[in-house]
C-alpha cells in the first residue's frame, strides 16, 4: 500500500494504443492497493509539431507564449489517459501544472519548481482517484504558464514524489534499466539492480541518457527513491537510491559512460602569469560556450599549455574566440581536434578502493590506446582518447572492471 509516482514519456504515450497500455499498467498498480500519481509528457511528435507552428511565425517567439503553446501538449495526454482509466472503471482526474499548482519561478521555457501544492492531490488520492498530472509545466506567481524545459517531465515526477512524500518515483522509458555501459557497444553490458544518485549523475551527464540530470539531482536532494523501468516490458528496472550498497560487497565500478559529442582545443606556449586561465576561458564563457574537461600542463620556460573540451557544435566558434585570445596573450599556437571521445568509469566504490585509476590506464595500455587528457572526481575518472578507439576502450574497461555479464544460454546460443 504505497504511494507511487509514475512518469511516462512521450514515446510511451505516443499513440492511443500506447495510452491504453499505460492505463492498463496504472490500473494494475491501483488494483494492488497503491495510491498512484501519473505524470505524462506530450504524445511523441506533438511538442515538435507545436514548436513548428511557432517557428512558422517567428524564429524566436516570446518565451511566455512558447510556454502557453507547448504546455498544451501534456494537457492533451493527461485528459486522454484519464479517459482511458475511467473507461476501465478506475476513477481518475487530470490536472495541468497550474491546476495542481506547481509553482515555479518566471524563467519561461526553463523554469525551476519552487513549491508544489499537494492538498488537492492528497484529497483525490484519499477518495480513490488516480491523479494524472501534466509534466514539464508549472505556473509562476502571476499565474503565467511556465515550462521546465525539455525533459522536464522527469523533474515534475520527482518533485511531485518529494512533495507527496511518495514511496517511490518510477520513470518509465524505452530501456529496462540503467546499464553498466551502452549495450550497443558492449554485448556483455548488464542492467544494474541498484545505483546511487551520485553514480547516476555521473553516468547521465556522460551520455547515458536514461534520465534527466535535473531529475536525478532533485531526487538525490530530497532522497526520493527513483526507479527506471521499461514502459511495456515487465521487470524490476534499476533502483536509484541514496544508500550505497554494503561497502564489502559493493562493486568498485558501477558503469562505463562515454560520449563523442566533444572536441578539444589547445592553446600552446601561453606566458604563464596569474589569471591566465581566466583570460583564456572568460571569453569562451562570454560567448555562451560550455566547457567540459580542462587541463593545464605544468609550466616550462615560463609558458604553459592549456587544453579544454567543448561541444562539437561549438568548436568553430570557440576556435575563433580562442585565436583572438592567443593573439592578445602572445601565445604560440592554437590547435583543435574534433575526433576525440571521452570515457569515464563511475562508481562510489572507488572512494574506498585505491588503484582504480591505474587499473583503468593499464587496461587502456593493454590495447594500445593513448590517453590524451585525464580528469578525476571523487567517484569518476574520465579520459579523452582518439575517437576511433572508443568502442575498443569501452569493451576493454568493461571487462577489466568485471562488469561483463555471465553469458546466458540465450546470448551464448
Q: Judged by CB under 8 A, which stretch of 88-96, 163-171, 183-191, 332-340 contacts a second copy? A: 88-96
For a second copy, the binding residue among 3, 21, 44, 83 (CB under 8 A) is 83
The least distance separating a second copy from the CB of residue 141, rounded to whole angstroms, comes to 13
**Angle formed by the axes of helices 152-163 and 213-221, to 10°?**
10
The least distance separating a second copy from the CB of residue 337, rounded to whole angstroms, comes to 41
> In terms of CB distance, is 55 or 332 closer to a second copy?
55
The least distance separating a second copy from the CB of residue 11, rounded to whole angstroms, comes to 17
The least distance separating a second copy from the CB of residue 128, rounded to whole angstroms, comes to 15
Contacts of 389 (CB under 8 A, 6+ apart): 341, 367, 369
Q: Judged by CB under 8 A, which stretch of 12-20, 24-32, 181-189, 345-353 contacts a second copy? A: 12-20
> In terms of CB distance, is 30 or 93 closer to a second copy?
93
Binding mask 109-128 for a second copy (x = CB under 8 A): -----------x--------
For a second copy, the binding residue among 37, 80, 161, 203 (CB under 8 A) is 80
The least distance separating a second copy from the CB of residue 86, rounded to whole angstroms, comes to 5
Q: Does 147 help bind a second copy (rule: CB under 8 A)?
A: no
* Nearest one of 319, 314, 350 to 334, comparing CA atoms: 319
The least distance separating a second copy from the CB of residue 84, rounded to whole angstroms, comes to 5
Interface with a second copy (CB under 8 A), residue total 37
Q: Does 2 help bind a second copy (rule: CB under 8 A)?
A: no
Q: Does 345 help bind a second copy (rule: CB under 8 A)?
A: no
The least distance separating a second copy from the CB of residue 114, rounded to whole angstroms, comes to 19
The least distance separating a second copy from the CB of residue 21, rounded to whole angstroms, comes to 12
The least distance separating a second copy from the CB of residue 69, rounded to whole angstroms, comes to 4
Q: Does 11 help bind a second copy (rule: CB under 8 A)?
A: no
Q: Judged by CB under 8 A, which stretch of 81-89, 176-184, 275-283, 351-359 contacts a second copy? A: 81-89
User: 342 and 293 in contact (C-beta within 8 Å)?
Assistant: yes
Residues 14-73, interacting with a second copy (CB under 8 A) = 16, 19-20, 50, 53-54, 56-58, 61-62, 64-66, 68-69, 71-72
Residues binding a second copy (CB under 8 A) = 16, 19-20, 50, 53-54, 56-58, 61-62, 64-66, 68-69, 71-72, 75-76, 78-80, 82-84, 86-87, 93-94, 96, 98-99, 120, 143-145
Amino acid at each position: 500500500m504505497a504511494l507511487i509516482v509514475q512518469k511516462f514519456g512521450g514515446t510511451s504515450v505516443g499513440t492511443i494504443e500506447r495510452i491504453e497500455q499505460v492505463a492498463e499498467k496504472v490500473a494494475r498498480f491501483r488494483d494492488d492497493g497503491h495510491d498512484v500519481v501519473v505524470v505524462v509528457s506530450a504524445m511523441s511528435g506533438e511538442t515538435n509539431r507545436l514548436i513548428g507552428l511557432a517557428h512558422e511565425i517567428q524564429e524566436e517567439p516570446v518565451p511566455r507564449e512558447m510556454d502557453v503553446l507547448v504546455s498544451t501538449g501534456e494537457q492533451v495526454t493527461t485528459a486522454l489517459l484519464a479517459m482511458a482509466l475511467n473507461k476501465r472503471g478506475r476513477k481518475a482526474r487530470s490536472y495541468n501544472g497550474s491546476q495542481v499548482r506547481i509553482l515555479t519561478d518566471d524563467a519561461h521555457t526553463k523554469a525551476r519548481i519552487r513549491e508544489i501544492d499537494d492538498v488537492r492531490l492528497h484529497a483525490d488520492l484519499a477518495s480513490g482517484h488516480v491523479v494524472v498530472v501534466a509534466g514539464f509545466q508549472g505556473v509562476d506567481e502571476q499565474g503565467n504558464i511556465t515550462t521546465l524545459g525539455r525533459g522536464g517531465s522527469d523533474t515534475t515526477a520527482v518533485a511531485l514524489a518529494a512533495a507527496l512524500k511518495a514511496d517511490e518515483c518510477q520513470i518509465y522509458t524505452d530501456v529496462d534499466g540503467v546499464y553498466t555501459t551502452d549495450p550497443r557497444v558492449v554485448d556483455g553490458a548488464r542492467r544494474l539492480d541498484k545505483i546511487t544518485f551520485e553514480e547516476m549523475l555521473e553516468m547521465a551527464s556522460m551520455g547515458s541518457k536514461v534520465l534527466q540530470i535535473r531529475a536525478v539531482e532533485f531526487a538525490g536532494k530530497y532522497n526520493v527513491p527513483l526507479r527506471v523501468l521499461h514502459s511495456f516490458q515487465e521487470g524490476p528496472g534499476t533502483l536509484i537510491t541514496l544508500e550505497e550498497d554494503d561497502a564489502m560487497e559493493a562493486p568498485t565500478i558501477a558503469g562505463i559512460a562515454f560520449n563523442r559529442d566533444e572536441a578539444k582545443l589547445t592553446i600552446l606556449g601561453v606566458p604563464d602569469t596569474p589569471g591566465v586561465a581566466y583570460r583564456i576561458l572568460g571569453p569562451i564563457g562570454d560567448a555562451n560556450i560550455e566547457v567540459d574537461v580542462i587541463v593545464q600542463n605544468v609550466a616550462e620556460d615560463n609558458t604553459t599549455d592549456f587544453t579544454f573540451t567543448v561541444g562539437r557544435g561549438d568548436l568553430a566558434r570557440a576556435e575563433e574566440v580562442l585565436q583572438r585570445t592567443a593573439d592578445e596573450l602572445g601565445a604560440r599556437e592554437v590547435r583543435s581536434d574534433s575526433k576525440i571521445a571521452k570515457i569515464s568509469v563511475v562508481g562510489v566504490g572507488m572512494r574506498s578502493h585505491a588503484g582504480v585509476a591505474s587499473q583503468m590506464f593499464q587496461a587502456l595500455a593493454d590495447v594500445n590506446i593513448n590517453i590524451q587528457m585525464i580528469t578525476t572526481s571523487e567517484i569518476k575518472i574520465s579520459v579523452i582518447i582518439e575517437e576511433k578507439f572508443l568502442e575498443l576502450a569501452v569493451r576493454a574497461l568493461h571487462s577489466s572492471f568485471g562488469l561483463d555479464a555471465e553469458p546466458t544460454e540465450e546470448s551464448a546460443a
